[in-house]
Amino acid sequence: PFSRALSLASVGRRVTISVDRDQLLKSALGPLLSATPHDLCPGRLCMKYLGEEGEDGDGGGGVTRAFLTHAGTLLADPHLGLLLPALDGHCQLNPIPGFLSPNSTDVDGVWQQPDRWSRFLGRLLAMSVVHECPLGILLAPSLC
Residue 46 burial (10 A CB sphere; 0-12, 13-18, 19+) = middle
Taking only the tens place, the pLDDT of each residue in 36-72 is 999 999 989 989 999 988 767 665 568 999 999 999 9
Taking only the tens place, the pLDDT of each residue in 76-125 is 999 999 999 999 999 999 999 998 787 777 888 999 999 999 999 999 99
How many degrees, rounded to 5, is the angle at CA 27 between CA 12 and CA 74? 110
Instruction: Give the C-alpha separation, 105 to 42, whole Å.
Output: 36
**What is the Rg, in whole angstroms, of the alpha carbon atoms belonging to the chain?**
15
Question: How many residues does this entry show for the chain?
Answer: 144
Instruction: Give the C-alpha separation, 128 to 35, whole Å.
Output: 16
Instruction: Give the C-alpha separation, 66 to 55, whole Å.
Output: 11
